[in-house]
Every structure is written in structure tokens, then in C-alpha cells.
Structure 1
């Protein structure tokens, strides 16, 4: 796969490329975007060929996900990639990860019960957490790019009564991958205080260190929500899954998705792309990770230390979390400069809970990354 090839995505109804004005305002549609967390790369040829076969067949009726081809592909992926044994019966289909979390919280939390989660955090969490009593734990940057949680504060909040903990592994936007030791510490507290652990692992395959799925360490009251869509760039095909060992929660989840929300039939393209990705595209993923790491290293080489900027290679994801506090520029002013002078659309850290950061998506050709870097340099040079 030639990850350096530039592919024109304009005119394809792309959220990142065609709807820039939705996030950056009127008159910004000509900017080069580094915003939405999808990639500018073609998906693996194996997935494309699978989809061609579906199109050639030409019949697009209702379909099913509850079979060993789908669940077995997920089971085998966790075993070969993460040395984690899961049971096929744990696997349930869902149209989207955020939808899964929303449904799970609806089932697990009663009115007034509290949920704990980290900040800075993915803005999609904020939308589904708005109706709940949310307690934030701030991730502390102990050194450049190294973030730690506060276990003492977590336990203090658990003692007051927390029903669920929402984790993101790797963390979006800071790029932290939770080590096995850290997960064991968190799980120990969840066990002690009888807290559900829901882990959003959608970025798990984009990692530069070893990833441990939480469900490997604890099955009871642990749920993973994930998808092959981030790793293999197929979000528009639809589909995700949850791993729910708890039979009661799993059955309630299935009831809500099938009976209440009428979403029992999966999108066939998403289901088949997941099967193909997990069965046949591991080499492509390894090559992708090499390319993304090189992109991250290039950004650090050029921007770290430039005019007060701080950049690091994240342990996971293709999202760079760049600190501009020492430039002396306000968040509002920097966004204005990025748009008007740099001609780039880059997400403000305020969206995720830190006004002194920007989130740069490097899931693209190095050629495009260089455009983003030059745009940032022009913005801070003003």
C-alpha cells in the first residue's frame, strides 16, 4: 500500500473535507483539514475486493450478524493480536461505538447515579454524558507526552458512590495507552467498590506500545466497545461491536437494540469489512502503523521547540496533541491565525478540555502533514 499517495476526497460528502464550515465557520471550506478522526488512505485491497463482490451480487436485503463468521473473526483477532481469550457469545453488534456506550449507560445507570471519566476527553463522550452525573478525573502530564491518572482521587470518588467508569484506551486526544499495571490498579478499585468498567478501545490497533484489553484482566462488570473502522478506515460503512461477558447486561443490550430501536439487521458492508479486516489485513495494519509513526516523528522533529511549541509521539492513535501555551497566544487567537494565515483547519484543544492544545490528525500522506506543519508555523510566527 502506498500511504504516501494523495487522494482527492473533496466532492465525496466527506465530513472532514466537504463540511469544514460546520466546525470552522463560514468561508473556511478551502482550508486543508486535519480535524475529524478518519484517515485519507484507501482501505486495504482485501476489503475493497470483498465489497466489490457484494456489489456484483446486487441483492441488498436484510442481513444477520449473529454467526461465527462475524463473531469468530473478532474472537480470533483478540487472540492473535492481543493474546486475549474472549467468547463468541460475548460479541454483540452495534451500529456505532458511541451508540453502544449510550445504550449501556441507559441500562446501567439509574437517575442520579454517578459516572467517572477522564479529561481531556473525546468530545463525543460529552454528548452522551450530558444527562448523567459526571465526575471528572484530570489526566496529569508528568512529563512531555506522559500522562498519569490519580488513583487516590479515583478511590475517594468511588467511596462516595460511583456506578460506572468510562475509559478510553488509547485516550483520545492525548494518545495515552493504558499499561497493564495501570489497568490492574483501576480494575482492583472497580472490584473493591463494585463499579462497572466500560472501555472504548476503538483506537486500540493504532499503537506504538503493547495494548492490554481490560477484559483480559477482568470479565465481571467489564465491557469493551470497539470497531475495525478506525484501524482500517471504514467508518462510513457502519458497524461496531461490544464485548459483554455479563449475560444479563448483554441480553438487555440486545433487547434495546433489536426490539426497542429496531437495529437488529447490520449494515452488510460494515459487517463484511470487519470480517475481512480481522481475517486478512494484519500486514496492512502493521505497515499503516509504521507510516503513521513516521508522520508523528516528523511532526516532532519540525515543531517540538519551535517558537514555544511542544510536540510528542503519542503511544496510540494518529492524533498529535500539540502544546502552544509557551507561545503566549490565546486559544481563540491561534484558531483565528490557523484559519486566516495558516489556511488549515485543526481542532482546538478547548473542544476536549484543554485550551492550550491543538489536535492534529496525521492519518494522511506526509505531503499533507507538511502542509499542516507549515500552517502551524505561519500561525505562531505572526
Structure 2
């Protein structure tokens, strides 16, 4: 089946956070939303069909999912990521961020330190600080135009109070797909210091260059000291169905997490989320492969446009995710002035880099999972706004 990602689908008046809350969030109802990480594309047709079938059944009671649900996850992980997952390893959560929150509460104590690698998905900081834990930043560094991990800095910042590291793999917002060698090196440091690795792999299926390596698939040692957070939400644009699968090979760690889910009454599953997830993992691969081609083409268009028309900006290579990371520091604006330029002058809603923490100042994050016409319009608006301030 050929999917048409150029088709513009009207999302206003649907309750969309991205499209219906622009005035509340950005102060302008006419702003073009290219910020939050959801797509402007319909889900795969088999997913839509599964949801229609579920809706026509007409009963939406408490749901746990059948064995076929786990089988679909296991099959997807084996086929797409070469990882052999056992059914009993799979736990359920209404989302990866709620799971991260519960993981922090369950496996650390107030005052404990948790390592994250800025600039990084900003809820990482929130789930640490709002639970009374301390962020230890191991900022990424740029070498030869590419973000890399700073292993020396990581080792220097580890002490007996560091209990956990939350890894973003692939990395949001800088777009890196970590190599197996990079993951081995950071994993060995965590093993050496008995640090629990929590790997957020929600973007694992959205790889444009290279191959995604599941952290726990590297070795049994890594598997026994890690929690792998997965979801169909980013891959198939299903975030509103609030379904994620937290995969934990270690039985003791898994039991603690399962007990925490039960204690917080978070073990239930979304009826539609179950149907959509199973269908996506069984029948969504063709859609995903076509999507990745489209996102790559959008990124190539973006890079070419910036090189030709917006030469003060620098876009970093995109290996994974559908989120472009753009350096605007040559404009000479502080983050407030840059925000004013993009949101008020250009009327484009983008994520400002400073919200991702250290190293994000002067950057913007742009969502490429949109129609080409939307991307063209957004870039033209930004070009005109920069032209006005230059003038």
C-alpha cells in the first residue's frame, strides 16, 4: 500500500495539543505549529482498521490484552531490533514519562543523584527534580560536527550518591543514534559503579542512518542492570492512546517495578491502545519504511534550504528521530530574543533549545513529521523574519 504523506489533514478542532492550543501556549492562534513530537500523518491503515473494529464491538471495559499482544511486541523486537524478548519481561505503563517517574521513585531515594546527558528531553530533568532527586549533568560535546558522549566527564562526576543514569537512545533532541561501541563504553562505566541504566528507546524505530542497538541486547550483564522503555507512540503516531511497554529482564528489578505499578494503580491498559499497538507491530512496517523515506527527504530539503537561504543557521546531522536540531547562535540573539523572533515575528511554534538544558541555548528543535508544504511555509516564515531583523 502506498501512503500519501503529502496530504494535509486538518487537525484543528480535534483537541490536538499541537494545533488547538497555540494561542494558550504561544500567545497567537495563527502560529504554525512545528514543535511537539507528534506527526501530522494518519496512522497506518491496519491500525485504523483495528480501532474501527474495536469501536464497532462497542464494549470498552477493563483491558489487559491477550497473549497475542505480547507476541506482537516480541516479534517486532526480534525482527526490527534483533533482540529476543521474553513475555514475562514486559510491563505496561500509560506512557514512557509516567514510567520514568515511577522508576525514579522506586529505585532511588530522595537526595540520590541521577545522571542525564544535556541537552536532553526536558521531562528527564523534571522527573528527577520533582521527586526530590539531584540531577548530575554529563553534557554531550561536539567533535567534528557531531555530538558524542564525554566519558571522562562522566567518570569524574560519579560518586557513591549516583544511583541511576537515564539514557536517551536515540537521542532527543540532537538526533544521534548511539553506536554499539558508544553504548558498551557508557554501559561498562555504569556496571563498574553499580549504576542502574534506564534507557529511553521510544525513538528506536525512527532511525535514518546507522542501526539502533538496544542497550539490554548487548550483553546479559547489561540486561540485568537495565530497564528499557519502549512505546509505539512516536513510531506510529499513537501518543494519545497512552500505551508503553517497559521491558525489564532482571526479575528482581521487574518485581519492584510491577509492585510500584500496582501500588499506584497504573497497571491497567487502554482498550484502544492495546488494539493499535498489536496491529502496528504486526502490520505497520510498510508504513514505517515509507515514513522514514519521507522524513529523510524533508530533512534533506531543510538542510538545503538552510544552506541556501538561512546561512546563519547550522542544522546538525539527523541519524534518528524526526526532530531537527538547529544552531541559531550566529544570529547573536539571547534565548529570549530568539524566542521572540521565531514565535512572534516568524509565527512558527518551535521548541526552544534552552528548555533542553545545558548546551541548548541558541538552538531550536523543528518537527519534520509534517507535510512538505508545512515545512516550506515554516522555513519561509523564518527566512522573512530573519530578513526583517537584518534589515
TM-score w.r.t. length of structure 1 = 0.96
| Aligned-residue offset at 1:56 | 0.7
2:386 corresponding residue in structure 1: 380
Q: Which whole-Å deviations, capped at 9, do the CAs of 1:186-221 have from their partners, x for residues lacking one?
A: 111111111100000111111112000101012111
2:315 corresponding residue in structure 1: 311
CA–CA distance in 2 between the matches of 1:152 and 1:343? 42
1:279 corresponding residue in structure 2: 282
Q: Which whole-Å deviations, capped at 9, do the CAs of 1:309-331 have from their partners, x for residues lacking one?
A: 10134111111111111122332
CA contact (8 A) 1:175 1:317 kept: yes
Deviates more, 1:68-77 or 1:279-288: 68-77
2:85 corresponding residue in structure 1: 86
CA–CA distance in 2 between the matches of 1:14 and 1:150? 38
Matched, 1:320 2:320: no
CA–CA distance in 2 between the matches of 1:124 and 1:12? 25
CA contact (8 A) 1:307 1:327 kept: no
Q: Which whole-Å deviations, capped at 9, do the CAs of 1:171-199 have from their partners, x for residues lacking one?
A: 11111111100000011111111110000
| Aligned-residue offset at 1:350 | 1.2
Matched, 1:297 2:296: no
Q: Which whole-Å deviations, capped at 9, do the CAs of 1:52-73 have from their partners, x for residues lacking one?
A: 10111101111113x4212221
User: Pick from 227, 234, 245: which aligns with 1:230?
Assistant: 234
1:213-362 to structure 2, matched below 5 A, reads 213-217=214-218, 218-258=222-262, 260-304=263-307, 306-353=310-357, 354-362=360-368
1:23 corresponding residue in structure 2: 25
1:61 corresponding residue in structure 2: 61
CA–CA distance in 2 between the matches of 1:100 and 1:367? 36
1:186 corresponding residue in structure 2: 186
Q: Show structure 2 runs of 5+ residues with no match.
A: none
Matched, 1:173 2:170: no
CA–CA distance in 1 between the matches of 2:23 and 2:143? 36
CA–CA distance in 1 between the matches of 2:19 and 2:337? 23
CA–CA distance in 1 between the matches of 2:249 and 2:23? 42
CA–CA distance in 2 between the matches of 1:321 and 1:275? 32
Deviates more, 1:195-204 or 1:106-115: 106-115
CA–CA distance in 2 between the matches of 1:221 and 1:251? 14
Q: Does the residue aligned with 2:325 lie in a helix, a strand or coil? A: strand
CA–CA distance in 2 between the matches of 1:85 and 1:95? 24
Q: Does the residue aligned with 1:138 lie in a helix, a strand or coil? A: coil
Cα distance change, pair 21–125 in 1 and its aligned pair in 2 (3 A): farther
| Aligned-residue offset at 1:159 | 4.3
| Aligned-residue offset at 1:161 | 4.1
CA–CA distance in 2 between the matches of 1:228 and 1:137? 28
What's the RMSD between the two structures over aligned residues? 1.3
1:155-166 to structure 2, matched below 5 A, reads 155-166=155-166
Matched, 1:133 2:137: no
| Aligned-residue offset at 1:160 | 4.7
Paired positions, count: 377
CA contact (8 A) 2:113 2:164 kept: yes
1:113 corresponding residue in structure 2: 112
Question: Structure 1 segments of 4 or more deviating over 6 A?
Answer: none
Cα distance change, pair 112–331 in 1 and its aligned pair in 2 (3 A): closer
1:73 corresponding residue in structure 2: 72
Cα distance change, pair 123–21 in 1 and its aligned pair in 2 (3 A): farther
Q: Which whole-Å deviations, capped at 9, do the CAs of 1:287-320 have from their partners, x for residues lacking one?
A: 0000001001100000136241101341111111
CA contact (8 A) 2:233 2:239 kept: yes
Q: Show structure 1 runs of 5+ residues with no match.
A: none
CA contact (8 A) 2:64 2:269 kept: yes
TM-score w.r.t. length of structure 2 = 0.94
CA contact (8 A) 2:124 2:166 kept: no
